Structure 1
Amino acid sequence: MISDLNPDRSLWHLIAVEVRRQRELHQLSGNQLAERLDVDRSTVSRWENGIRRLIDGYAKQLDALRHTNGLFERLVRFATAIDTGDWMTGLAAYQERATRHRMWETVLVPGLFQTPDYARAALRVGLVDDPDRALERRMARQASVFDRPKLPYMSVILNWAVLAQPVDSPEIMKGQLARLLEIGELPTVSVRVLEREAGEHCGLDGPFHLLTVDDRDIAFDDASTRGRLMLDPAEVQSVGVYTDLELGYMEAGRDQEAD
């Protein structure tokens, strides 16, 4: 089975090959690794042959055992996200750990701020296969961010169209706007709206989300069918500059209004 693994084409194959490589690098037998992870020897064999996929809990144990600095945990997270065709899997993990969020949204209220009714209506007309399951995941993402002992810092800019675009009934929109006002009152959250009179600006290219995780920035470029996580420093920096331009644009508009 091992000869059939192709780590150049599959992250799961790469994980399988790396589990075996790390075991042999530290001169451990399959039985010894199994004992240290408290699993059967056959489980280790299945991981290494790509028959059984490594899960997050054992990935963390392998990282701790081999001092691989989160390698297996990251590989499993990305492999799972790619396998389901949903980069939101990786995004949710980073959102849960982020100490700072910077967001720009063009049409819809950001998922982290949506009420269940608003989210259900938006998902129902989207491209998701199972709106009910997607709603559960979205609400779980919100809880992982807002139910923490210490809230992250959040700076959110909404395009005027977000408030103007009706989603389902007036009652649902009223509840969503009330939720935005409620979130805006939190001491670590800033919610601002870019008015229609602003005209053309760099944010017309589309929404994005910039997160600070473990003292480094990670970017997420949203899309209707599949978003994209950006981990490369050069790509993330470009989104950071983009964010600064958008914030600067808004500050300039506020100064003009004051004049």
Structure 2
Amino acid sequence: MRENRSGGSAPTVLRMVLGKRLRQLREQAGVSFEEAARTIEVTPLTVRRIEKAEVGLRIPYVRELLRAYGVPAAEIDGFLALAREANRPGWWYKFRDVLPEWFRAYVSLESEASVIRLYEPHYVPGLLQTYDYATALMRVGFPNESKEEIARRVDLRLRRQDLLAKPDAPAVWAIVDETVLRRPVGGPEVMRAQIDRLAEVCSMPKVRIQVMRFSVGAHPGAYGPFHHFRFGFSELPDIVYTENLAGSVYYDRPEDVVAYLEVLDRMSVQAEPVARTREILDELRKEL
């Protein structure tokens, strides 16, 4: 488990992958943290932080570590090229004025995931929100911010949605409570447009939406929202993300991730089938 609050450097997915790879190379070479630290004249803690992607990949450090691990010169050049790329700010960097530090890692994970599974008991998932729906939520969540700041936050949310149109778009499987569709965010007109948007994305080949009906009663995910990410990198494990008012928590220990996946699997059986989602949306729209 990794807790991410304000402060520190939010890593890109590539930096996480390269950090894991550095750890593997060190272990394969039989080099201890202390020995690696002496190679680049830092503390063992710094080596640990490099491997956990908690700090940037300083090119001179990485070069000397790779040499110490016996990596061939030709492979070192390729690794360093990836390290330079990993150190570049993500596309979301220009939104850093309205993007909490603890959420930057999430945006990177979302951008690079091959599969995103999530449960949302309160609101329409950010990837599926309309402009007006997102604006209404931001006004409630940030009541003291200016119209310009709210607009920046909404623009960031909509920019995240671009990944759904990519040729290599991730598979998105969302389970939402019926509450999500009945809570009147922004008024009837906004909700009608939002439900129309959900009906539209239901036709996307890589998007699946299931509705958890009130009639189900208690279910294993009722304690709060969470997101599960899977990646196309063997070095990067599945990660589960949860958040609260003070920050966020990222789980990557296999036993934790499996616990969340088991909950999602059970909930997918309890929720209405994907084939029923469009019909449910049509019913709810008529009530508005």
TM-score (norm 1): 0.67
Kindly state the Cα deviation for residue 25 of structure 1 after the two structures are TM-superposed.
Answer: 4.4
* Letter in structure 2 aligned against 1:92: V
Q: 1:95 corresponds to which letter in structure 2?
A: E
In structure 2, the CA distance between the partners of 1:230 and 1:174, relative to structure 1 (3 Å rule), is: same
Instruction: Provide the rounded CA distance (Å) in 2 between the counterparts of 1:119 and 1:213.
Output: 27
Quick one: structure 1 residues 217 and 75, their matched pair in 2 at CA, closer, same or farther if it must change by over 3 Å?
Answer: farther
1:49-99 Cα offsets, whole Å, 9 max, x none, are xxxxxxxxxxxxx984448x769938988xx99xx7433211212212222
Unaligned runs of 5+ in 2: 1-40, 68-75, 276-288
How far apart, CA to CA, are the structure 2 residues paired with 1:234 and 1:75? 32
2:123 — aligned with what?
108
Query: Which of 151, 158, 167 lines up with 1:139 in the alignment?
Result: 158
Tell me, in whole angstroms, the C-alpha distance in 2 between the residues paired with 1:71 and 1:26. Answer: 15
1:73 to 75, 86, 99: 86
Gaps of 5+ in 1: 28-61, 255-259
8 A Cα contact 1:86 1:226, kept in partner: no
Determine which of 224, 229, 239 is the counterpart of 1:218.
239
> What is the identity, as a one-letter code, of the residue corresponding to 1:21?
Y
Render the CA deviation track for 1:107-162: whole Å, top value 9, x for unaligned.
1000000001100110111148632222121111111x212013322211110110
* Counterparts of 1:205 and 1:169, CA distance in 2: 27
- Corresponding residue of 1:92: 107
1:207 aligns with 2:225: yes
What SS is found at the alignment partner of 2:247? coil
Conserved? CA contact 1:63–1:73, under 8 Å: no
Determine which of 193, 196, 203 is the counterpart of 1:175: 193
TM-score computed with the length of structure 2 as normaliser? 0.61
Q: Note if 1:163 corresponds to 2:191.
A: no
* 1:124 maps to 2:145: no
> What is the letter of the counterpart of residue 152 of structure 2?
R
1:21 aligned to 2:61?
Answer: yes
User: 1:237 aligns to what?
Assistant: 258
Larger mean CA deviation between 152-161 and 228-237 belongs to 228-237
Residues 17 and 205 of structure 1: is their aligned pair in 2 closer, same or farther, counting only changes over 3 Å?
A: same
Q: Distance in 2 between matches of 1:151 and 1:90?
A: 19
- Residues 171, 251 of structure 1: CA spacing in aligned structure 2 closer, same or farther, 3 A cutoff? closer
1:185 corresponding residue in structure 2: 203
Aligned to 1:250: 271
Aligned partners of 1:15 and 1:76 also within 8 Å: no
- Please name the residue that 1:47 is paired with: none
- The residue number in structure 2 matching 1:51 is none
Is 235-244 or 193-202 further displaced after alignment?
Answer: 235-244
Q: What secondary structure is seen at the aligned counterpart in 1 of 2:141?
A: coil
Identity of aligned residues (%): 27
CA RMSD of aligned residues (A): 4.0
1:6-53 superposed Cα distances (whole Å, 9 cap, x missing partner): 849x88xx74795553344468xxxxxxxxxxxxxxxxxxxxxxxxxx
Q: Deviations 1:225-245 (Å, cap 9, x if unpaired)?
A: 533232333322221122112
Letter in 2 for 1:240: L
**Corresponding residue number in structure 2 for 1:197:** 215
Change (3 A) 1:21 1:86: closer
Query: How many corresponding residue pairs?
Result: 213
Distance 1:170 1:135 in 2: 20
